[in-house]
Structure 1
């Protein structure tokens, strides 16, 4: 998957407190996953990156964010040490290992599918850039710690699978409309009482061929005949072909819904 990383300048990072050492891609062999520890106050957006920065600079006295990247619950990626600076995320592994923080903590929400997908995207890009398959690590693989918590650690040990977004179900195809088959000319000449007559009358009204004072209703009346004659004339029929009694050609064109 393609990844987009929000730069330090874009999320409002403070200037480095010192100069983190540079590390070449050829020195990278590992990829570490971390959690926040406690529940982050800002699980999404640039405020998350600034929250981590405050903890690392004000609390730990570090040069800046110690992770190479921070991933929020919406799957946004924020630059920390980036691709070429030494991290401060796992003693003994800050040169060999990239470190990514996923914005979850003990007692809080689990990592979202978007967050996991973004972290996996970073891993794949790191492998591409270094030209090798990096070892997948949880923080606890480097030092004795609970980090990255049981759920993220199990995810790492399972190969860091990226959850694919659910494929939306295709909208059901609309059922083809069914129309009332022509019941025969004799049917109407018997002055029937039928739901077919009502459905026919509604279509005649919709086509602007109404001679109804009230209705239409189920009983065939002179108003139905006069209305149908209007429809026949609208279609271009004349004389005996426009006598108001339905024929198959005009009926099929009227498209009376099935009843």
Structure 2
């Protein structure tokens, strides 16, 4: 938890009423445009939080005793102390709602910076856990739950409805998932074992490659070489003079060629040279 205390903010102890227990925590947003500068400038986050407190203290209609929220969360993952622990909030709409839940505000708004970062969600969770350890019940709700408002905005409220999970939490597989985590692990292990032998082929005419890819390439080259030899054999058989290779010799040669793409290329070159010499006679 990256906590910024009231003392670090230069604020005195909160004058808000004491509230030692609640049913839980409600999540808020600012409900006004928020500059995206907060994403890259943490000093702007501190300034924003101080401005919120100043505007609340200046509000003679609501007559706030302090900034309305117990805590704020910034895009950089800092939890900023407001009224703090065991203090009644002034943010939930009326005294009954304020007594029911504490309040944490994410420094996002209705335009500009509207989507909470993972770091912000993590710091809101830090605040929820801290409040739970000091009197808050298990409920996590949005400001709009029980009060007519758009707060805490679409993105934050969607997160609240998912149970306010930490960004690093791994979601449970849905019923539509094709594989369980165990099956996914088995598939990964099979993929890692796909090579047919733990060695690599190295040659002057070919780059290094693993055994699986080498054998696939060898098979392709052997097929091409065999087709070429069959064509050449047919042309040699059509010549007036007897060929130098007997059928048995040719069959043995083809069998040997299938094991090496380099040998296949060399035999094809020699055969072509001999054929060209015969055709020139």
TM range (shorter): 0.5 to 0.7
Q: Which residue of 2 aligns with 1:115?
A: 120
Closer/same/farther in 2, CA of residues 54 and 32 from structure 1, 3 Å limit: same
Q: Which residue of 1 aligns with 2:55?
A: 55
Q: Which residue of 2 aligns with 1:128?
A: 133
Q: Which residue of 1 aligns with 2:84?
A: 82
Alpha-carbon contact 1:48-1:72 (below 8 Å) kept: no
1:9-28 equivalences in 2 (<5 Å):
9-13=7-11, 15=12, 19-24=15-20, 27-28=21-22
Question: Is 1:36 aligned to residue 41 of structure 2?
Answer: no
Alpha-carbon contact 1:12-1:50 (below 8 Å) kept: no
Aligned to 1:29, the other structure's residue is in SS state strand
Paired positions, count: 167
Closer/same/farther in 2, CA of residues 59 and 96 from structure 1, 3 Å limit: same
Cα distance between partner residues in 2 of 1:10 and 1:71:
15
Deviations 1:84-143 (A, max 9, x none): 21110112222231100100011223100000011012212322333x752111000131
Cα distance between partner residues in 2 of 1:129 and 1:57:
26
Aligned to 2:29, the other structure's residue is in SS state strand
Closer/same/farther in 2, CA of residues 70 and 160 from structure 1, 3 Å limit: same
Alpha-carbon contact 2:68-2:90 (below 8 Å) kept: yes
Cα distance between partner residues in 2 of 1:5 and 1:154:
25
Deviations 1:129-186 (A, max 9, x none): 33x7521110001310010011111110110011129xxxxxxxxxxxx9x99xxxxx
Q: Which residue of 1 aligns with 2:165?
A: 161
Structure 1 portions without partners, runs of 5+: 166-177, 182-193, 195-259
Aligned to 1:38, the other structure's residue is in SS state coil
Alpha-carbon contact 2:24-2:132 (below 8 Å) kept: no
* TM-score of the pair, normalised by structure 1: 0.57
Query: Where in structure 1 do 4 or more consecutive aligned residues deviate above 2 Å?
Result: 39-45, 124-130
Higher helix content, 1 or 2: 2
Cα distance between partner residues in 2 of 1:142 and 1:10:
34
Deviations 1:202-258 (A, max 9, x none): xxxxxxxxxxxxxxxxxxxxxxxxxxxxxxxxxxxxxxxxxxxxxxxxxxxxxxxxx
Q: CA RMSD in A?
A: 2.9
Cα distance between partner residues in 2 of 1:33 and 1:82:
15
* TM-score of the pair, normalised by structure 2: 0.53
Closer/same/farther in 2, CA of residues 52 and 161 from structure 1, 3 Å limit: same
Q: Which residue of 1 aligns with 2:251?
A: none
